[in-house]
Amino acid sequence: MSNHLDRQQLTQTLADGAADLKLDLSERQKTKLIDFVTLLVKWNHAYNLTAVRDPAQMLTHHLLDSLAAIPAFIGAVSVLDVGSGGGLPGIVLAIWAQEAQPQMQISMIDTVAKKTAFLMQAKAELGLANVAVHTGRVEQLQVADHFDVITSRAFASLQDFVQWSGHLLAEGGRFIAMKGVIPHEEITQLPNGWKATRMEALTVPGLGAERHLIVVERQTQ
């Protein structure tokens, strides 16, 4: 696969994919999303942010994959993306929210300093004032204000995800885990007091693979 960047072609694929997802993206949002792919390609050579090397595949496997989950985040005010890596879904969410939901703040955490260096660079170059970046383990993260949504994409098992970051979730908040096939076994192994309240199949334009969102919430007594 070539990793030559054809901006015009990528922009068209993004526009078609957004239309399929019924997402209304402005020209500015589209430009920033393509700028983000450009950054990913550039930094990926040295930092190994993703196994996907081809820009066209990055657009489908990463951007459209993250954009497909957007409806689940509507109304969230404070989001934490755990194991954010190359900024998925965090940076994509931040680009969308900047115009669509200006009140939303997105924090991202990763243990790998190279990855968080990339996230800081993306924040600066893309002008994302709604982004905060943390380096370290989520279990050790302490924040003044808890998050109403904590998300992850291909990060860990549901039980680990909930156990490691449950202390950061606000009262009435929810976890949104982005998964491939429905992880039935992981759902049955959720820690006591937690329940999968929603499972939603996502259709990602151009991606012939299963994708699901799993929403996990505290069980009310």
The two structure tokens encoding residue 221: 């007594």
How many residues comprise the chain?
221
Look at residue 3 in the predicted model and tell me its pLDDT: 57
* pLDDT tens across the length of the chain (221 residues): 455 679 999 999 999 999 999 999 999 999 999 999 999 999 998 888 888 999 999 999 999 999 999 999 999 999 999 999 999 999 999 999 999 999 999 999 999 999 999 999 999 999 999 999 999 999 999 999 999 999 999 889 999 999 999 999 999 999 999 999 999 999 999 999 999 999 999 999 999 999 999 999 999 76
C-alpha–C-alpha distance, residues 26 and 99, integer Å: 9
pTM: predicted TM-score of the whole model, two decimal places: 0.96
Look at residue 1 in the predicted model and tell me its pLDDT: 42
| Domains by residue range for the chain, with CATH | 7-218 (3.40.50.150)
C-alpha–C-alpha distance, residues 155 and 85, integer Å: 9
